[in-house]
């Protein structure tokens, strides 16, 4: 199963990025890979919208960026989640999970889907 990329709402993309950065600073490609790996490629994010999304998060001061050297010794821009970013992630994740939970429960009630 693979979700269509267009289904990934903007707000959700931000949530995923923040979650990806929770483990530690990462460059854009790292974020994309992390999401792919974690979801076994189910949520394949649209890479073109990844960077504008990062800028938006930066504008809101949920992440900050800094130039550094990548694992293969290349110049890369690394993103770090901020304290405000963590708080936002906690709040949004709670809402998202309650929502998903509710939708799941509705879908599970009888009569069962075909």
Partner 1 sequence: MGRIPSWRRYLRFWGPDIDADIDDELRFHLEMRARDYEAQGRSPAEAQRMALARFGDVTRVGAALREHDRRKERRRQRRERMDDLLQDLRYAVRGLRRAPGFTLVAVLTLALGLGANTTIFSVVNAVLLRPPAAVRAPERLVSVYTSDFSGPRYGTSSYADYLDFQKGNAQLAGLTAFTARLFNFSTGGAASRIGGEEVTDNYFTVLGVTPALGQLFTPDESRAPGTEPVAVVSYGLWQRTFGGDPGVIGKTIHVNGNAFTVIGVAPPHFTGSIRGVQVDLWVPYLMDAVLTRGHDEFTNRGNRDLFLIGRLAPAATLASAQAGFRVIARQLHDAYPQSWTDVHHESRAISVLAEQDARVIPQLHGAVVGFFALLMTVVGIMLLICCANVANLLLARAAGRQREVAVRLALGAGRGRLVRQLLTESVLLAGVGAVVGALLAVWATRLLMAFKPPLPVTIALDLSIDGRVLVFTTLLAGLTALIFGVAPAFRAARVDLIPALKGGAAGTRRHRWPAMRSVLVVSQVAMCVILLAMAGLLLRSLRAAQTVDLGFDPQQIALASFELGNQAYSESRGRAFYDAIVRETEALPGVQAVSLAQSTPLGLDYSRRGVNVEGYQPKPGEDLEFGINIVGPRYFDVMRIPMVRGREFTEQDRAGSLPVAIVNESFARYFWPGDDPIGKRIGTGDQMRVVVGVARDSKTRSVSEEPSPYFYLPYLQSYGSNMILEVRTAGDPRAIIPIVRREAATLDPDLPVQTETMEDAMGVSLLPQRAGATLLGIFSLLGLALAAIGLYGVMAYAVSQRTRELGIRMALGAQTRDIYRVVLGRGLSLMAIGLLVGIALSMLLTRLVRGLLFGVSPVDPLTFGSVAVVLTIAALVASYVPARRATRVDPLVALREE
Q: Which of 23, 29, 61, 98 binds partner 1 (CB under 8 A)?
A: 29
Count H helices and E strands in the chain, helices first: 4, 3
Binding status of residue 6 toward partner 1 by CB under 8 A: no
* Sole window of 14-22, 44-52, 81-89, 95-103 interacting with partner 1 (rule: CB under 8 A): 44-52
Shortest CA distance to 25 belongs to which of 64, 78, 71? 78
Q: CA-CA distance, 100 to 98, in Å (whole number)? A: 6
Query: Among 78, 81, 88, 89, which residue interacts with partner 1 (rule: CB under 8 A)?
Result: 78
Nearer of residues 12 and 93 to partner 1, judged by Cβ: 12
């Amino acid at each position: 199963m693979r979700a269509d990329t267009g289904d990934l709402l903007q707000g959700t993309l931000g949530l995923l990025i923040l979650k990806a950065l929770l483990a530690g600073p990462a460059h854009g490609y790292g974020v994309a890979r992390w999401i792919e790996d974690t979801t076994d490629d189910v949520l394949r994010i649209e890479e073109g919208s990844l960077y504008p999304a990062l800028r938006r998060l930066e504008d809101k001061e949920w992440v900050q960026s800094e130039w550094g050297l990548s694992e293969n010794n290349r110049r890369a821009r690394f993103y770090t989640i901020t304290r405000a970013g963590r708080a936002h992630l906690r709040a949004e994740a709670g809402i998202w999970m309650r929502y998903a939970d509710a939708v799941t429960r509705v879908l599970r009630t009888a009569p069962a889907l075909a």
